[in-house]
Amino acid sequence: MELLLDQAPNAATAVSFWRHPAAWLPEKNLSRSYWCFFSAAFFFDAGFAIYFSIQPVLLDLRFNERAMDG
């Protein structure tokens, strides 16, 4: 977390996220464990989003909740 909050050592050479997002990301040197957590959280949340967006449609098609959850 400190890596994300620390100011750049030389503000003149620091890349702004809003001006160059593709150059900003490699500058942060985020660890492999960060990316593993990020990808797991992303797919977990994406799964919930898909489930809760499809659930009302399936209920309208006469699927019951027991059939969807099992």
pLDDT of residue 36: 96
Phi then psi for residue 13, to 5 deg, are -95, -5
Question: pTM, whole model, 2 decimals?
Answer: 0.56
DSSP code of 6?
Answer: S
How do the domains of the chain map onto residue ranges?
A: 1-30, 39-70
In this predicted model, what pLDDT tens digit does every residue of 29-44 receive, in sequence order?
889 999 999 999 999 9
What mean pLDDT is predicted for residues 9-17? 64
At residue 28 the predicted structure's pLDDT band, cuts being 50, 70 and 90, is confident
- Cα–Cα distance, 69 to 1 (Å, whole number): 37
Integer Cα distance of 58 and 53 in angstroms: 10
Amino acid identity for residue 58 in this structure: L
Which carries the bigger pLDDT value, residue 65 or residue 46? 46
CA pair distance 26, 64, nearest whole angstrom:
47
